[in-house]
Amino acid sequence: MRAALVRDEHGALAPLPIALPAALTPRVLPDLVAVPHTPPVGRTLRRAVVTALLIPPTARSSCNSVGGGSGSDIHPYECQVLLIRRAEHGRYGGWIALPGGKVEGNETAQETAIRELHEELGFNAADPEHEIRFVGSLDPAYVPATNFLIQVLVAVAPQTPQITPDPREVAETLGAELGLFDPRHAVHVVDVEEQGQLMRYGVIPVPGERRVWGLTARLLCELAARCAAA
C-alpha cells in the first residue's frame, strides 16, 4: 500500500496507472458540463479530511492490494474499505461515504482523521492496540458546491476495530471490497437534483443493494487503480 502511494521528491504521486472512467466526473445537466476537482486560485477554502481505512475481509487474510491474477486482470483485493452511511439529516443524509469531517483549528490532517474516527465510530485510531497505520494519501479533491478541499488519508488495520457508531452522525457501517472500485469495471450513472440543479454522478454498486457515488466513488476508484498497479 505504501508503494501505491509513494510520492516523489516534489511531493507528487505517480501518474494514475489506470484511467478513470469519464462517468466518474460529476456533470451538470442538461449540457453535461464537467464539475472541476481543482480549486479556483485565490479562494479561501474550507478543509476536511476523510479516511479510507482498509480492513481485512470476513475471512482472516492479509490486507494487501494483490488478490491474485496478473496486473492486467480485474481481480478481488484482499481487503475491504470501511464505509459509513450518514444519518438521515443534513445535506448528505443517507449517502454512503468515507468517515471524516472538517478540520478544526490547527489540526494536522492525521489529527483530524483520528478525531473524526473516534467521534463517528467510537474507536481511537491512535491507540497502539488497534495497530492502525496511516500509510499515505491521495491528492486533495475540491467540492465546488461546498467550497471544501477534501484530504484523503489511507490507513490499514490488521483487524477491524470495535465500532460503536454515533447515531447522530452514522446510520450504519459497512465494508466493501476494494476490488469493487477497480475502474476497469463498468460504472453506472445517476441523476440527482441538488439545490435546484440537476447533476449526473458515477455510481458503484456495493453489497446490500447500496451504491457509492459522487466524490466518494471517484476517490475509491483512484485508490483501487493505484493499488492494482503497485
* CATH code of the domain covering residue 212: 3.90.79.10
Condensed to tens digits (0 to 9), the pLDDT of residues 61-96 reads: 333 333 333 344 444 567 899 999 999 876 677 889
**pLDDT reading at 35 higher than 80:** yes
Residue 13 belongs to some domain of the structure: no
Residue 113 belongs to some domain of the structure: yes
- pLDDT, average across residues 45-60: 84
- pLDDT, average across residues 165-185: 92
User: What are the start-end ranges of the H helices in the chain?
Assistant: 109-121, 214-229
Structural domain of 158: 24-229
Counted domains in the chain: 1
Pick the closest to residue 177 from 78, 61, 48 (CA basis).
78
Contact indicator for 164, 122 with CB cutoff of 8 Å: yes
Confidence at residue 70, expressed as pLDDT on a 0 to 100 scale: 39
Name residue 215's amino acid. Answer: L
Residue 2 belongs to some domain of the structure: no
Residue 12 belongs to some domain of the structure: no
Residue 17 belongs to some domain of the structure: no
Compare 162 and 60 and report the one with higher pLDDT. 162
Residue 182 belongs to some domain of the structure: yes
Tell me how far apart the alpha carbons of residues 128 and 56 are, in angstroms, rounded to a whole number. Answer: 18
Pick the closest to residue 175 from 161, 186, 188, 187 (CA basis).
161
Confidence at residue 41, expressed as pLDDT on a 0 to 100 scale: 86
pTM for this prediction: 0.89
Residue 14 belongs to some domain of the structure: no
